[in-house]
Amino acid sequence: MIANEHVNKTYKMGEVDLKVIKDLNLTIEHGEFVAIVGPSGSGKSTVLNLIGCLDKPTDGKITIEGIDVTVLNRTDLANFRGQNIGFIFQSFNLIPVLSVYENIEYPLIMIQNLPKDERHKRIMKLLEDVDMLDQKDKFPDQLSGGQRQRVAIARALVTNPKIVFADEPTANLDTDTSNQIITLMRNIQKEFNTTFIFATHDEKIVTAVDRIITLVDGVITDDKRVAS
Ligand SMILES: Nc1ncnc2c1ncn2[C@@H]1O[C@H](COP(=O)(O)OP(=O)(O)OP(=O)(O)O)[C@@H](O)[C@H]1O
């Protein structure tokens, strides 16, 4: 479970304080498929960065899987992130000099000290899951947008994270490819009970999720469960 209690985030811009998240109280249960929506600049990415442990709140408490992550130091936070959280970005963020296989392997080498044959098994299974087995030796610039995002999804999942944060994951994809990617993530959520949290403007994602949280000017103005 993820619990935010009285979370605030203020950016200092010279003399000016920019308060972008205001008294956020939000609980997300295991295995939820949820979208955070709202106008540009409303604070969606900031919330994702805070609960994704990429950034720290100015004050308030964030508990993930029973651990208060706001008191962890940088090293412990990075370890916690590596063990529990996966990220998918709109720009895919693949490493251009690494092959598809090596891009997926990268977090396992950086974060989790797994033996090579165990790494291989996990990567091959994920390549199959995202239907990229026949592309495993290609490099990112030899792939389509949808294929790149499938690799990014496999990379986000290879550490078996409990939670995946996806910031506009379909922004650079056409409608059919977006729908395929959303279905892929939904299937993974069902199979592994992985929590997926999206920040998005994409109606295709909004109509696919079970819960929609609306953020306006750093405040939750609506939080509703929907039949998808
Ligand atoms: N590092 C930063 N320093 C200062 N201000 C920032 C920083 N990051 C974000 N902001 C500001 O915080 C506010 C919220 O930004 P955020 O990126 O979270 O919004 P968003 O809802 O994700 O927007 P979009 O839909 O356009 O991606 C904006 O006013 C933005 O300019």
Query: What does the pLDDT look like over 163-205, one tens digit per residue?
Result: 999 999 888 888 988 898 899 899 989 999 999 999 999 999 9
| Domains present along the chain, CATH in parentheses | 30-57+71-225 (3.40.50.300)
Would you say residue 82 has pLDDT above 90?
Answer: no
Q: Does any ligand 1 atom lie closer than 6 A to the CB of residue 30?
A: no
Q: Which atom of ligand 1 is nearest to the CA of 168?
A: 27
Sequence letter at residue 153: I
Would you say residue 111 has pLDDT above 80?
Answer: no
Of 74, 139, 85, the C-alpha closest to 112 is: 85
Query: What does the pLDDT look like over 23-51, one tens digit per residue?
Result: 999 999 999 999 999 999 999 999 999 99
Provide mean pLDDT across the span 126-155.
Answer: 93
Complex confidence, ipTM: 0.95
Query: What does the pLDDT look like over 45-68, one tens digit per residue?
Result: 999 999 999 899 999 999 999 999
Q: Which atom of ligand 1 is nearest to the CA of 13?
A: 4
Q: Does any ligand 1 atom lie closer than 6 A to the CB of residue 44?
A: yes
